Amino acid sequence: MSKKRVVITGMGTVNPLGHSVSEYWDNLQSGVSGIQTISDFDVSAYTTRFAGQVKNLDLSQYFDKKEIRRSSRFILLGTASALMAIENAGLDISKNPNRIGVEVGSGIGGLDVLEESARTLHERGPSKLSPFTVPMMIPDMASGHIAIVTGAKGHNSCSVTACASSNNAMGNAFQTIRYGLADVMITGGSEACVTPLGLGSFCAARSLSTRNDDPDHASRPFDKERDGFVMGEGSGIVIFEDLEYAQNRNANILAEVVGFGATGDAYHITAPAPEGEGAKRAMQVALADAGIPPSDIDYINAHGTSTELNDKNETQAIKDVFGDVAYQLSISSTKSMTGHLLGAAGAIEIIACIKAIESSVVPPTINYQTPDPNCDLDVTPNKSKSKELNYVMSNSFGFGGHNAVLIIKKISN
């Protein structure tokens, strides 16, 4: 079976660095931190009291009051980004609804609804629970709601693979078009877990940075003094299309998707496999899928969580895959600015990769101050740099041993 070429024609995002792609990219390449002390609920009893949050977003520009009341935050953020991406792509779904699908990942889904519903059950009893509790809470409802709002009637699914969720979703969307099962896929990820339970759970796991007096500098991937990741929330949606379909409608093509690799560690529920063995295989599978040698990659947007194990093991995995070429690569972790959006991380990071290709700019890893001999590659410390980019790799790895890697390239005929 011949494989169709898949291109990207639209983008939309709301995240801690902005309510649009342009605002996000401007802040990203300028090295701005979106990490702040949490003000939405009382965090005085928490060991970590900061996160990357979406602030001052006017949801009424996208939804009526009833829709807002009956939807969880991750659904609203995901749908807002989808509407932006569809507009950016100039896509008229009504012309081909049965061949346009949706796959949006979320690692956890409607945690805010789960918390509120548990509180209602405990304080007021089961008769007071909302009939919308389940459809507001389950992770697939970002995909479902986007389809309902837009009329996209094709393939509809959701990937739930922890922090790899949106890369898995986009990889699945890529393959769905590649093998002729859809012409267009609305894909990406959405997450909104900066809640009392979400924050408290990661605090209990001792996964988070505790730099409460200096949140701007708390996320420091690959830095020797890193002390944990920083939670973030938001969404990113991209439009994938069959190249021929996009050309026939004169779409503005932003980049081409050329490779996807997914593997499992089969090792531990939270820790990565030693020396990043599973991550290494995912990168190798993606390169083989793209049909290119490692030396063709110009930039890697790393998973780069700012945790001791991830950053060390991801560095080793890159060295194992790329050999001596690893030291010539440009690498960065944009989580240093946005925090870690969990299931939506890969989605906003693929948007960063697209903009990097478009602008010939590698965004920085900020807060890099103390070199770590275990992380000795070029992580683009503190300042963005100009560089012509043809092939870009984006890594995402999740609890449970899920590894998902995407490769995109500058569009060519």
Of 19, 145, 155, 163, which one is the catalytic site residue?
163
Rounded CA-CA distance 71/88 in Å is: 24
The pLDDT of residue 65 is above 80: yes
pLDDT at 412: 77
- Average of pLDDT values for 79-107? 98
Q: Is the pTM of this model over 0.75?
A: yes
Q: How would CATH label the architecture of 1-413?
A: 3-Layer(aba) Sandwich (3.40)
Of 303, 353, 375, 402, which one is the catalytic site residue?
303
Average pLDDT, the chain: 97
The pLDDT of residue 1 is above 90: no
155 catalytically annotated: no
**Residue 413 banded pLDDT, cuts 50, 70, 90:** low
Q: Which of 154, 184, 189, 153 is nearest to 170 (CA)?
A: 189
Residues of the chain with pLDDT > 70: what percent? 100
Q: Where are the domains of the chain?
A: 1-413
Q: Per-residue pLDDT tens for 361-401?
A: 999 999 999 999 999 999 999 999 999 999 999 999 999 99
- Average of pLDDT values for 141-146? 98
Strands (E), 63-197: 100-105, 156-157, 184-191
Q: Are 343 and 336 in contact (CB under 8 A)?
A: no
303 catalytically annotated: yes
**Residue 2 banded pLDDT, cuts 50, 70, 90:** confident
8-state DSSP, 4: P
C-alpha gyration radius of the chain: 20
Q: Per-residue pLDDT tens for 160-198?
A: 999 999 999 999 999 999 999 999 999 999 999 999 999
Of 19, 145, 155, 340, which one is the catalytic site residue?
340
Rounded CA-CA distance 119/332 in Å is: 41
